[in-house]
Amino acid sequence: MKAAFLELADRLCAELGADEALLLELAAERSDFVRFNHARVRQAGSVEQRFLSVRLVRARRQATAGITLAGNGGDLAHARATLARLRDAVALLPEDPWLLVNEQPESTDAAHRGRLAPGEDVVRQVVGAARGRDLVGIYAGGTIYRGLASSYGQRNWHEVDCFNLDWSLYLRGDKAVKTGYAGFDWDAAALEAKVEGAAAELALLALPPRTIAPGEYRAYLAPRALEELMGLLCWGGFSARARATRQCPLMRMEHGETLSPKVTLIENTADGVGPRFQHDGFVKPPQVTLVAEGRLGEPLVSPRSAREYDLPTNAAGAHESPEALDMSPGDLAPGEALRALDTGLAIGNLWYLNYSDRAAGRITGMTRFATFWVESGRIVAPVEPMRFDDSVYRMLGRNLVDLTERRELLLDAGTYGERSTGSMRLPGALLGALRLTL
């Protein structure tokens, strides 16, 4: 696949006019997909696909088109025809004042080889681990490819083997335990442990539920609950454009407000799933520190924001959102989170999160799936879904007691059009207080 992409790029770039620049971006994959319901296979298949973005730049004007490659001799003719249409289109377009592409080639070549199980083995092991329980979810695994080539001589290639099993154990009604298993090296024993841990929580969901009144409670957020919180913060929280336009939900951190010193957040591209390069040809640094021990760090600066606001770019994507977010671990030893919680809520998942006051960093949302009432470090009852409304400066600031030593790799389960390359590596978080409103 790499050789075919580079050959296609060389042929097209050789046909450009003196005033033209071309950027080609490949997004491809070879993936197995399996859907489960009642711990049985409901749908299974394999996908190989190759999508090519063709982008023509001339006289500060640009036009882009996407085509599907078949991997055969017809791809070059298809790409040539697309380039001809772009020449017609770009002549009619106005100049783009914020256009910035990398004209100084920086080529890269990276391959992250993993140990993936054949699809048949995945099915056998998942069904076996479920042991007749109602397991529902989707498995996606295989190799993801990304490539970029420009007429400036830049050639970038990235491929990674990874998998993501996103699943729940269902009890009845709205009672379920949602979890997942993702990574680069498939391990049947790790899957077994995940399923058994979820099954233990499922049994607790069968207990009579506890009703608690609105108020403030100590709470433990499991990594998947914290993922929802961080996902909302990624919506403008680390963006240079959001800061410049005063839409950043962390604006108060620009004026002295801080999070807990325990909070360090890094865009860790080097250990993520996605490539180090982005579609304008710029190469990302291995890491960007977004929050350092509770204090606001560097923003993510896309090339367009760099041009508009006169900033140096760090090769962020157009949305200026983290794609490989890492949160530093804390001191809570494995298995000690409930003991440290003592009495309060153990929250497995959050959902429907949004800003109730964006400028103040205030967030609202609902608890979901397995949320339990804990007394003396022991789960005693499930708790019905409740709404919280609290500030990030409280949750990850003065009310953050500790984070777990162990972090979980959470891959974005999105497969709409193609498998997502987004990821987070997060600990669990123990809060001294979480404000529940109803």
Provide the Cα torsion 74, 75, 77, 83; round to 10°: 160
pLDDT of residue 203 exceeding 90: yes
- Which tokens sit at 329? 């671990």
For 16-32, what is each residue's pLDDT tens digit?
Answer: 999 999 999 999 999 99
pLDDT of residue 142 exceeding 90: yes
- Which tokens sit at 127? 């069904």
Residue 340: predicted pLDDT: 98
Residue that has been written with the tokens 């006169």 in this structure: 310
pLDDT of residue 73 exceeding 90: no
Helices (H), ranges, 187-318: 188-205, 223-233, 240-244, 303-309
DSSP bridge partners of 183: 163
Q: Band the pLDDT of 382: cuts 50, 70, 90.
A: very high
Q: Kind and range of the H or E element at 45?
A: strand 40-58
Query: Which residues lie below 8 Å from residue 110, measured CB to CB, with a gap of 6+?
Result: 157, 158, 159, 275, 276
Among 391, 429, 434, CA closest to 262: 429
Residue 369: predicted pLDDT: 87
Residue 257: predicted pLDDT: 97
Residue 45: predicted pLDDT: 96
Mean pLDDT of 291-309: 98
User: What is the CA 161 to chain-centroid distance, rounded?
Assistant: 16
Percent residues over pLDDT 90 in the chain: 98
Residue 315: predicted pLDDT: 97
User: What is the CA 397 to chain-centroid distance, rounded?
Assistant: 23
Residue 82: predicted pLDDT: 98
Q: Can you tell me the distance from the alpha carbon of 338 to that of 336, in angstroms, rounded to the nearest whole number?
A: 6
Q: Is the Cβ–Cβ distance between 158 and 435 less than 8 Å?
A: no
- Homologous superfamily (CATH) of 2-205 is PmbA/TldD superfamily (3.30.2290.10)
Q: Can you tell me the distance from the alpha carbon of 145 to that of 275, in angstroms, rounded to the nearest whole number?
A: 9
DSSP bridge partners of 363: 355, 390
Mean pLDDT of 191-220: 96
SS3 for 93? coil
Residue 401: predicted pLDDT: 98
pLDDT of residue 173 exceeding 90: no
For 227-265, what is each residue's pLDDT tens digit?
Answer: 999 999 999 999 999 999 999 999 999 999 999 999 999
pLDDT of residue 412 exceeding 90: yes
For 87-117, what is each residue's pLDDT tens digit?
Answer: 999 999 999 999 999 999 999 999 999 999 9
Helices (H), ranges, 58-187: 75-90, 119-130
Residue 368: predicted pLDDT: 87
Among 352, 309, 34, 1, CA closest to 166: 34
Among 95, 82, 72, 45, CA closest to 307: 95
Residue 177: predicted pLDDT: 96
List phi, psi (to 5°) of 329.
-75, 170
SS3 for 106? coil
- Which tokens sit at 398? 């003065």
pLDDT of residue 174 exceeding 90: no
| Residues carrying CATH 3.30.2290.10, the chain | 2-205
Average pLDDT of the chain to the nearest whole number = 97
Mean pLDDT of 63-83: 96
Burial category of 419 from C-beta neighbours within 10 Å (exposed 0-12, middle 13-18, buried 19 and up): buried
Query: Which residues lie below 8 Å from residue 182, measured CB to CB, with a gap of 6+?
Result: 162, 163, 164, 165, 166, 409, 410, 411
Tell me the pTM: 0.95
